[in-house]
Amino acid sequence: MRIAAATAARVRDAAESLGYRPNAVALALRSNSTQTIAMISDLIATNEYSGQMVAGALETAHAQAKLLIVAETHGDPDIENAIVQDLLDRRVDGFIYATEVTRITKLPELLTGHHTVMLNCIDEDNQTPSVVPDERAAGVLALAALGTDTKDIAVVGTGHPNRYALQQRLAGIRAGLPKSTLLRNIDCDWWPESAFAAVDNLLRSSAPSTKRAHRVTSPRAFICMNDQVAFGTYQALHEHGLTPGRDVSVVSFDGSLLAGWLRPGLTSVSTPHRELGQVAVSMLTNNWETDLAAQHRHSQSAEPILISPALTTRTSVSVHTE
């Protein structure tokens, strides 16, 4: 039984102009592909940085007509397993396994064998492709931002958190350091209050009024491990009548909004969180379009992709001729 071509067309047009839309669920069942990516992270809402990663991932996923699902595990392995299982049940096409703090970690077992990219973390077993900020390059940039002010540098924030970033940055800083430099570690957490206390303490012990025998001179330059640490450092400097950009130099990592709010404006090496998110999604979707065999062949030597930092120069570095 034939149907007249005109009639068929009329039906089609009617359906279309009536606003027919295909059912994505049926489509997914049939094609075995949901056009969906899941991003699993320990913490997402805590600070503006992970927000940037999410935004970047969202953006790129959307550009590729994929839906991105964001999930938060609070760092709890049980929650993590439950979430991964649920997403697996929902037949997500691929995973982005992200951490708030850059670190080396192990991929959840459930995820092995599924398309996965690690974001802001590196696979312990080097089995999974990953994207991380180039913290060593960030260290190099931070030192460079100090210009000639490198006689006596304090690194603020050598406390416990974020081992990986800390070590990489220190390596970058040391790489370009003159032999004569005095490099001091100021141990504190990566929070304003902790940094304030530590720097205040340092300046107190080196204040001119102190009559102790073992008096120390105060550092000329401060490299702060993030903008919040720099914030605390500013407060301590202020307390001691020292102005960044005039009496001392301050440089920091993060490139957050806060850096621009401080007075004087804080020169900061910005970690490209947004770009991290974008690249992770790109890698993931590229991966599963690539020949899987070829991918597997190289899977033993997956070197992390490093994303370059950028420098935002403001006026917190003192330019004194000597």
* Residue 65 binds to DNA (criterion: CB under 7 A): no
By CB under 7 A, is residue 3 in contact with DNA?
Answer: yes
Query: Considering beta carbons, is residue 21 or 296 the nearer one to DNA?
Result: 21
Q: Which does 207 bind (CB under 5 to 8 A by kind): DNA, its own copies, none?
A: none
Cα 47 to Cα 10, 50, 53, 226, 247, distances in angstroms: 55, 6, 11, 13, 31
Q: What minimum distance in Å lies between the beta carbon of 261 and its own copies?
A: 4
Q: Is 216 helix (H, G, I), strand (E, B) or coil?
A: coil
**Residue 121 near residue 97 (C-beta atoms within 8 A):** yes
- Cβ at position 66, least distance to its own copies in Å: 10
Alpha helices in the chain (DSSP H): 5-17, 24-31, 48-63, 77-89, 135-145, 163-175, 192-205, 227-239, 257-261, 273-289, 292-298
Closer residue to DNA (CB): 16 or 125: 16
177 binds DNA (CB under 7 A): no
**Quick one: 23 or 180, whose CB is closer to DNA?**
23
Distances (CA, A) of 37 to 110, 136, 148, 191, 288: 16, 30, 47, 34, 12
- Give the Cα separation of 285 and 282 in Å (integer): 5
Closest alpha carbon to 170 in 159, 247, 120: 159
Q: Is 8 in the site for DNA (CB under 7 A)?
A: yes
With CB cut-offs between 5 and 8 Å by kind, which of its own copies, DNA, none does residue 232 bind?
its own copies
Shortest approach of its own copies to residue 245 CB, angstroms?
A: 15
Handedness of CA 282, 284, 285, 287 (dihedral sign): positive
Query: Contact residues for its own copies (CB under 8 A)?
Result: 21-26, 28-29, 34, 44-48, 51-52, 54-55, 58, 62, 67, 69-72, 83, 85-86, 88-91, 191-193, 196, 228, 231-232, 235, 258, 261, 263
Binding partner at 34 among its own copies, DNA, none, C-beta below 5 to 8 Å by kind: its own copies
| Cross-strand bridge partners of residue 134 | none
What does 235 interact with, of DNA, its own copies, none (CB < 5 to 8 A by kind)?
its own copies
Helix axes 163-175, 135-145, angle to 10 degrees: 50
CB of 7 to DNA, least distance (A): 8
Tokens of 199: 């720097």
Least spacing, CB of residue 31 vs DNA, in Å: 6
Alpha carbons 31 and 93: distance in angstroms, whole number: 12
Binding string to DNA for residues 13 to 32, with x set by CB under 7 A, is what? --------xxx--xx-xxxx
Q: Which residues bind DNA (CB under 7 A)?
A: 1-3, 5, 8, 21-23, 26-27, 29-32
